Amino acid sequence: MIVLASIGIFETIITLAFNALPFSDLIQDIADPILLTIMVGPVLFFFLYRLMIQENARITEAEKRVRKIIETSCDAFIAMDVKGIITEWNRAAETTFGWTRKEALGKSMAKTIIPPSFRE
């Protein structure tokens, strides 16, 4: 309530000062959006920043759930990038293909799991 009262007083002082100047209507038309931006801008910034933090936390939790599903899957899960380099390798893939995660990551998918006789 004190903040609103002080904003009202501030706006009244500014209005009185502008009314004494020539072209006061033009100055007032320019000043109103500026004052509104000064008063509302920080609140809007804080709101958007808080929203961004909450969304990042939600995404992080979702990523953790997906990672847990992949790690505990009974099926082999292998991910690769556009160049065919292995970027993810779960425990079931270790059992299925005989490579540890550490050995497989960063290697070519084709050279790792496709037998030489089936490669081009």
Dump pLDDT digits (tens) for 9-26. Answer: 666 666 666 565 555 565
The amino acid that residue 6 corresponds to is: S
Task: Answer whether 0.85 is exceeded by the pTM.
Answer: no
Q: Please give the backbone phi and psi of residue 80, each rounded to the nearest 5 degrees, phi first.
A: -140, 160
Q: What does the domain layout of the chain look like in residue ranges?
A: 1-72, 74-120
pLDDT one-digit tens code per residue, 20-52:
555 556 556 666 777 777 777 788 888 899 999
- Answer yes or no: are the C-beta atoms of 86 and 106 closer than 8 Å: yes
DSSP state of 63: H
- Answer yes or no: are the C-beta atoms of 107 and 86 closer than 8 Å: yes
Q: Please give the backbone phi and psi of residue 73, each rounded to the nearest 5 degrees, phi first.
A: -65, 145
CATH code of the region 74-120: 3.30.450.20
- Answer yes or no: are the C-beta atoms of 45 and 52 closer than 8 Å: no
